[in-house]
Amino acid sequence: MVEPRRVSRMFLGKKEAMMTPKVKKAIFPMGGLGTRFLPVTKSIPKEMLPIVDRPLILYAVEEAKAAGIEEFIFITARGKGAIEDFFDHSQELSQILLDRNENAKQALLQDMLLRPGQVCHIRQQDPLGLGHAVWCARHLIGPTEPFAVVLADDLIKSSVSCLQQMVSAYAGGHMVAVQEVALQDVSSYGILEGMTGHGATIRATGIVEKPKPEHAPSTMAVIGRYILDGSIFSILEGQQKGHGGEIQLTDGLAKSLEKADPYPYLTGFKFQGERFDCGSLRGFLRATLSYAMDTEELREEIRSFGEAHFL
């Protein structure tokens, strides 16, 4: 039984409140090959690359925890066993830390653990795209149950986690995190079309996967945070390969909007925070420097190094 919560639907033009199920499950697609980070990703999952002292996947999981997520579904692939081990208990390491009286580090490791039954690992045997990765979790989520999708390589730095912001604003249907991008960059994103509304939440009548700049309906781009209605699985079941020869989640969302009365509808959510595309070397470097500057010891080290070498 999915527990409901009361939310406002005023942005949809209805002043009455209605009961919307809570978002308690999140999918973390991690079946990609990480080829932009070769050769390191030949043996290390991209999601385990560290931003300062924490891997990308830990930032994603902590964001989901802050949003009230209780069940974590990891979509992995061959060679990604390090992710499973990271969230598991290490008896030997724990004992060493206890023997050394390094209690703070031991407590940190305990906080990272996911409880038995709280996490599930599913193997995506073929790298057929984000839509296919989401579809792999179809047996764990009900046909009308909302769930989140979190892409770990989209790192979002904010005082209130991006997913937490989205969960607070969610009122049913499909919701995607969005931000404006330069026109020349639209071919790297799913782009909303037919937008109406103001403020943080906007309605969209369509979504286009990676259009050419001259064909883009807007510059409002979808980034790696979604809250989806379980009805998306029936769409993805028969979805054909699209851009790049992959089953695109964006195409599935566009297909779902063709259904009538009145769900599912698509909401774009303009989150508060700074997003780093850690799927690129440039974004990864920027994220590392940004998070390092939040630490007093590292901040002074970076400044000293910069003054000595670049000024």
pLDDT digits (tens, 9 = 90+) for 173-183: 899 999 999 99
**Tell me, what's the pLDDT at 290?**
95
**Tell me, what's the pLDDT at 107?**
84
**Tell me, what's the pLDDT at 19?**
67
Residue 60 scores a pLDDT above 80: yes
Helix axes of 91-99 and 103-112: crossing angle, nearest 10 degrees: 160
What percent of the chain shows pLDDT beyond 70?
Answer: 91
Q: How confident is the model at residue 12 (pLDDT cuts 50, 70, 90)?
A: very low
Side-chain half-sphere of 44: how many Cα atoms within 13 Å?
13
4-279 belongs to CATH 3.40.50.1220? no
Residue 6 scores a pLDDT above 60: no
pLDDT in tens, 279-289: 999 999 999 99
**Tell me, what's the pLDDT at 74?**
95
The structural domains of the chain, with segments of one domain joined by +, span 4-279, 281-311
**Tell me, what's the pLDDT at 163?**
96
Q: What pTM value is reported for the model? A: 0.86
Q: Tell me, what amino acid is at 93? A: L
Residue 69 scores a pLDDT above 80: yes
Tell me what the pLDDT averaged over the chain comes to: 85
What percent of the chain shows pLDDT beyond 90?
Answer: 48
Residue 242 scores a pLDDT above 90: no
**Tell me, what's the pLDDT at 7?**
37
